[in-house]
Amino acid sequence: MSDCIFCKIVAGDIPSKKLYEDDRVLAFYDIEPKTPVHFLVITKDHIKGALEISEENSRLVAHIFEVIAKLAAELELGAFRVVTNNGPDAGQTVFHLHFHVLSGGVLGEMA
């Protein structure tokens, strides 16, 4: 999608601090980290958000969680939180499916 910032990152038109990439997903550090370690795992395909997850594409989400587990082990995160915001009222600002991985220090309670 031409006006999507994450599609531009996937295409290499906008630089990112990449952690992992394969044919389906990309992981890179968040530009405005909310915790000492904060990266995003996104689909390479443009999927608007969690509401668009379906029987046809849900294997991608399973793959994203495999990648999160691999990166969490490699980075020795120990405790971490995975978040996806769906819709502006939930804090979604980029409308391309992504999972935040937040770690470092004590995260405190949420949900």
Q: Which positions touch ligand AMP (CB under 6 A)?
A: 5, 14, 16, 30-32, 85, 91-94
Q: Quick check: is 98 catalytic?
A: yes
Between residues 37 and 94, which has the closer beta carbon with respect to ligand AMP? 94
Q: State the catalytic residue, choosing from 38, 46, 63, 98.
A: 98
Between residues 10 and 101, which has the closer beta carbon with respect to Zn ion? 10
Structure tokens at 101: 């991985």
Q: Quote the DSSP letter at residue 88.
A: G
Structure tokens at 72: 């969490």
Structure tokens at 108: 């405190």
Structure tokens at 33: 């980290």
Interface residue with Zn ion, options 19, 29, 46, 49 (CB under 5 A) = 46
**Taking CB within 5 to 8 Å according to partner kind, which of ligand AMP, Zn ion, none is near residue 51?**
none
CB 58 within 8 A of CB 14: no
